Amino acid sequence: MIRGKVTLRLAWRNLWRNHRRTLIMLAAVIVGAWAMIFSTALMRGMVDDMIQDGIRSLPGDVQVHHPDFRDDPSVVNSIAPPTDRLLGVLEQPEVVAWAARVRVPAVVSSERNTRGVTLVGIDPDRERELSFVADDMADGRFLESAEDQGLVVGRKLLERLETDLGKRVVVMSQDEKNEIVDRGFRIVGVFESSMQAREDGFVFAGKATVQRLLRMGNRVSEIAVLGTDYRHVEGLRRRVEEAAGPGVVVQPWTELEPYLASMMGMMDGFVLIWIVVVFLALAFGLVNTLVMAVFERVREIGLMLALGMTPAHIRAQIIAESTLLLALGLAVGDVLAWATIEPLKGGIDLSIVGEGMELWGASAVLYPALRWEDIVLANVVVILLGFIASLSPAWRASRFEPVEAITKV
Amino acid sequence: MPAVRCVDVCKTYRQGELEVKGLDHVSLEVGEGGFVCLSAPSGGGKTTLLNAIGGLHRIDSGEIWLADRRIDGLGKGELASLRLHQIGFVFQAYNLIPVLTARENVEFVMEVQGVPPDQRRSRSMEILEEVGLKGLEDRRPAKMSGGQQQRVAVARAIASRPTLVLADEPTANLDSHTAEQLMELFVELNTRHETTFVIATHDQRVMGYARRIVRMLDGRIVDDTEQEAA
């Protein structure tokens, strides 16, 4: 049986026999831990921003729609507005915002050009908290109510249509009977988005106006729901699904936007790789420190073996030294990372490279996202890999022959 | 029953191309409570025999018994356990663990044995007083003289109440006064606790304290004499 207390005491004291070497190694671990956590928080912040931006482009965290809507997003595949039962769930605190929309393919024509777009009929008050468009208004005004008869378009589309704010365009689509319906809209607002596809592909009008145009009564195309944490939407999805009843599908954003979901998965993998890479740089120093420590203490290890300590005791002692060193370095590194990130939570202004950030779909202000999961992951991975790295020196130490070790000069 | 019994023990070393006989058909019995000196010039085989008895050397042939247990065929773990529970060691040098205080060094074997802390503490304090180191309990080896360090080693060797103490040149690095004090301590412990002592030495002063002297040469026992101890 290995006696933990004596093993830990010896490991701790041996660690401080050579102060300078231990402090250098400790500094490396602290800087490594800080770098892992700080840079992960920056990367997380950037990806969070990209994903949240994507989610706010329209899908929300969870969406309710007709089972065939995604294959054929026409007015034929519409659904009834939220029932009282569904409204009961949508009014819960776990729902930050929700909106019922009409969303159909349409053609918009100016006097010069015609473009295929997605016509979105919205309730502006609800949409304000849910999607990008209200925040991204650049010119004119946002829609004022579901009855608003104006049209909000993207800057790029405005250029392609060769028209301007205040001018009229014709929007054409199909009703439930596949009859062509159209009406004129005055462009009342222009939005600008970090993604060109949004500016080019969406036009927004009042929901009731669009419902009348498409002769669909009070039916809608989709109900988008925004929760509190986009990473954990399954509980919300399940509750919405139970309340929505049969005849509809309820999908999380990860299914609606698989590209964004894969980006999140890729980020998780990248964080792990980054942590392992930083650790590998540390590992050389760690193994060197342990090997030096072992070979400085050959006689002492021989003595302990001669007195009746088992090779397992010796291995445990070397591994304990490595673990204590890493744990201490990680603890200080964690605190340092937290202390560095906390003051930056208000955002880091990267407007100097803003255009490049926008190309990535990220905003010019980066909000570092310090997640306890990442801190735990970094700590666990470093301790585990440290354990593995210390096995070789520990094994060597435990293989000494007591008599030869004691008499070694 | 003898505390130690060696029967026709042989041990050969390789030194480059040469084969050196460390132990050449050695047979020896030491009774319980015995106080025996193994005396030989350097390379005579005394340390090899001591280490073989302590399970630190594997022998090529023969038998080694400690009381009623044959130990020459035991595995590493069993030998470690045997040394931990039955044998106290005092080496010529590098006896102590530098990062532990005198008291912690004395308690070390007991701690690995799993003796409860209060019991360990009272026994270590008592033994440190017995070896004349009262007041130096919290000193680390680097802050102690060679003689004081050897006393701590002796205290550690006997603290766990082993049946056998094996000491290899325990006075080699000590001045004559300290060596004398140490040997008197050995004799006292041997008398009081009936602990068996086997001491490897070529120091005539040490031999004067023994009740039996076993002389070795080239790995063989050449003389085995009982004597009146000093």
Residue A365's pLDDT band (boundaries 50, 70, 90)?
Answer: confident
A313–B97 C-beta distance less than 8 A: no
Is A304 in the B-facing interface, judged by CB distances under 8 Å? Answer: yes
Supply the pLDDT for residue A140: 93
Supply the pLDDT for residue A290: 83
Q: Are A186 and A167 in contact (CB under 8 A)?
A: yes
Name the closest residue on chain B to residue A403, using Cα atoms: B56
The closest CB to that of B112, out of A17, A308, A406, belongs to: A308
Give, in degrees to the nearest 5, the angle at Cα B134 between B130 and B135.
175
Is A399 in the B-facing interface, judged by CB distances under 8 Å? Answer: no
Q: Are strands B35-39 and B212-217 parallel, antiparallel or unpaired?
A: parallel
Spatial separation of the C-alpha atoms in residues A207 and A199, rounded to whole Å = 20
pLDDT, tens only, A119-178: 999 999 888 888 777 778 889 999 999 999 999 999 999 999 999 999 999 999 999 888
Spatial separation of the C-alpha atoms in residues A188 and A86, rounded to whole Å = 33
Spatial separation of the C-alpha atoms in residues A360 and A375, rounded to whole Å = 26
Q: Are A135 and A97 in contact (CB under 8 A)?
A: no
B170 lies in some domain: yes
Does the pLDDT at position B217 exceed 90?
yes
B12 lies in some domain: no
The closest CB to that of A3, out of B51, B77, B111, belongs to: B111
Supply the pLDDT for residue A369: 86
Supply the pLDDT for residue A362: 63
B99–A309 C-beta distance less than 8 A: no
Give A406's contacts in chain B (Cβ within 8 Å): 91, 94
For tokens 């460390």, name the residue: B22
Task: Give how far B97 is from chain A: nearest CA, Å.
Answer: 6
Could you list the residue range(s) of the whole structural domain that residue B87 is in? 31-50+78-226
Spatial separation of the C-alpha atoms in residues A262 and A189, rounded to whole Å = 34
Is A307 in the B-facing interface, judged by CB distances under 8 Å? Answer: yes
Q: Are B229 and B187 in contact (CB under 8 A)?
A: yes
Best residue of B85, B95, B97 to probe chain A, by most A CBs closer than 10 Å? B97
Q: How many residues does chain A have?
A: 409
Name the closest residue on chain B to residue A398, using Cα atoms: B76
Sheet holding B4-15, edge to edge: B18-30, B4-15, B61-66, B69-70
CA distances from A376 to A33, A38, A275, A370 (A): 11, 13, 11, 11
Residue A1's pLDDT band (boundaries 50, 70, 90)?
Answer: low
For tokens 């040098």, name the residue: B93
Spatial separation of the C-alpha atoms in residues A405 and A102, rounded to whole Å = 82
Does the pLDDT at position B209 exceed 80?
yes
Q: How many CB pairs below 8 Å do chains A and B form together?
A: 66
Name the closest residue on chain B to residue A408, using Cα atoms: B94
Spatial separation of the C-alpha atoms in residues A387 and A208, rounded to whole Å = 64
The closest CB to that of B77, out of A306, A307, A310, belongs to: A310
Phi, psi of B7, deg, nearest 5: -125, 110
Structure tokens at A9: 């005491």
Q: How many domains does chain B fold into? A: 1
Does the pLDDT at position A58 exceed 80?
no
Spatial separation of the C-alpha atoms in residues A236 and A250, rounded to whole Å = 10
Task: Give how far B77 is from chain A: nearest CA, Å.
Answer: 6
Is A306 in the B-facing interface, judged by CB distances under 8 Å? Answer: yes
B66 lies in some domain: no
Q: Are strands B164-168 and B87-90 parallel, antiparallel or unpaired?
A: parallel
Torsion, Cα A260 A264 A266 A272, to 10 degrees, reads 170
Supply the pLDDT for residue B63: 95
Q: Are B34 and B97 in contact (CB under 8 A)?
A: no
Q: Are B158 and B88 in contact (CB under 8 A)?
A: yes
pLDDT, tens only, B154-167: 889 888 889 899 99
B65 lies in some domain: no
Spatial separation of the C-alpha atoms in residues B201 and B179, rounded to whole Å = 12
B99–A306 C-beta distance less than 8 A: no
Supply the pLDDT for residue B46: 92
A17–B84 C-beta distance less than 8 A: no
Q: Is A58 left (phi over 0), alpha (psi -120 to 50) or beta?
A: left
Q: Which residues pair with A224 in a beta bridge?
A: A63, A99
- Give mean pLDDT, residues B86-99: 87
Burial zone of A394 (CB within 10 Å; 0-12 exposed, 13-18 middle, 19+ buried): buried
Spatial separation of the C-alpha atoms in residues B192 and B185, rounded to whole Å = 10
A306–B83 C-beta distance less than 8 A: yes
CB hemisphere CA count around B190 (13 angstroms): 24
pLDDT, tens only, A264-316: 788 888 888 888 888 888 888 888 888 888 888 888 899 999 998 889 999 99
pLDDT, tens only, B180-191: 888 888 898 888
Spatial separation of the C-alpha atoms in residues A366 and B92, rounded to whole Å = 67
Spatial separation of the C-alpha atoms in residues B164 and B189, rounded to whole Å = 11
Give B94's contacts in chain A (Cβ within 8 Å): 299-300, 303, 406
Is A406 in the B-facing interface, judged by CB distances under 8 Å? Answer: yes
Does the pLDDT at position A108 exceed 90?
yes
Residue A66's pLDDT band (boundaries 50, 70, 90)?
Answer: very high
Give B11's contacts in chain A (Cβ within 8 Å): none
CA B125 to chain centre: 21
Burial zone of A257 (CB within 10 Å; 0-12 exposed, 13-18 middle, 19+ buried): middle
Best residue of A298, A307, A406 to probe chain B, by most B CBs closer than 10 Å? A307
B80–A308 C-beta distance less than 8 A: yes
Task: Give how far A16 is from chain B: nearest CA, Å.
Answer: 9
Supply the pLDDT for residue A354: 64
Supply the pLDDT for residue B28: 94
Q: Tell whether pTM > 0.90.
A: no
Phi, psi of A257, deg, nearest 5: -130, 75
Containing A284, the helix (H) or strand (E) segment is helix A258-296
Give A11's contacts in chain B (Cβ within 8 Å): none
Spatial separation of the C-alpha atoms in residues A299 and A406, rounded to whole Å = 4
- The structural domains of chain A, with segments of one domain joined by +, span 4-54+261-406, 60-256
Does the pLDDT at position B200 exceed 90?
yes
The CATH number of the domain holding residue B109 is 3.40.50.300
B4 lies in some domain: no
Q: What is the mean pLDDT of chain A?
A: 87
Name the closest residue on chain A to residue B156, using Cα atoms: A307
Is A6 in the B-facing interface, judged by CB distances under 8 Å? Answer: yes
B108–A306 C-beta distance less than 8 A: no
Most confident segment among A261-265, B51-55, B200-204, B223-227: B51-55
B97–A300 C-beta distance less than 8 A: yes
Does the pLDDT at position B170 exceed 60?
yes
Structure tokens at A258: 């698989």
Structure tokens at A251: 């999908």
Residue A258's pLDDT band (boundaries 50, 70, 90)?
Answer: confident
Best residue of A15, A309, A403 to probe chain B, by most B CBs closer than 10 Å? A403
Q: What is the mean pLDDT of chain B?
A: 89
B46 lies in some domain: yes
Containing A117, the helix (H) or strand (E) segment is strand A114-122
Q: How many DSSP H helices and E strands does chain A contain?
A: 15, 12
Containing A64, the helix (H) or strand (E) segment is strand A62-65
Name the closest residue on chain A to residue B82, using Cα atoms: A308
Higher pLDDT, A407 or B101: B101
Would you give the DSSP letter of residue A179?
-
Instruction: Give the B-side interface with A, CB within 8 Å.
Output: 51, 54, 56-57, 76-77, 80-85, 89, 91, 94-100, 104, 108-109, 111-114, 156
Q: How many residues does chain B have?
A: 230
Supply the pLDDT for residue A338: 93
Three-state SS for chain B is CCCEEEEEEEEEEEECCEEEEEEEEEEEEECCCCEEEEECCCCCCHHHHHHHHCCCCCCCEEEEEECCEECCCCCHHHHHHHHHHHEEEECCCCCCCCCCCHHHHHHHHHHHHCCCHHHHHHHHHHHHHHCCCCCCCCCCHHHCCHHHHHHHHHHHHHHCCCCEEEEECCCCCCCHHHHHHHHHHHHHHHHHHCCEEEEEECCHHHHCCCCEEEEEECCEEEEEEECCCC
Query: Would you tell me the crossing angle of helices A258-296 and A19-55 to the nearest 10 degrees?
Result: 180
Phi, psi of A69, deg, nearest 5: -60, -40
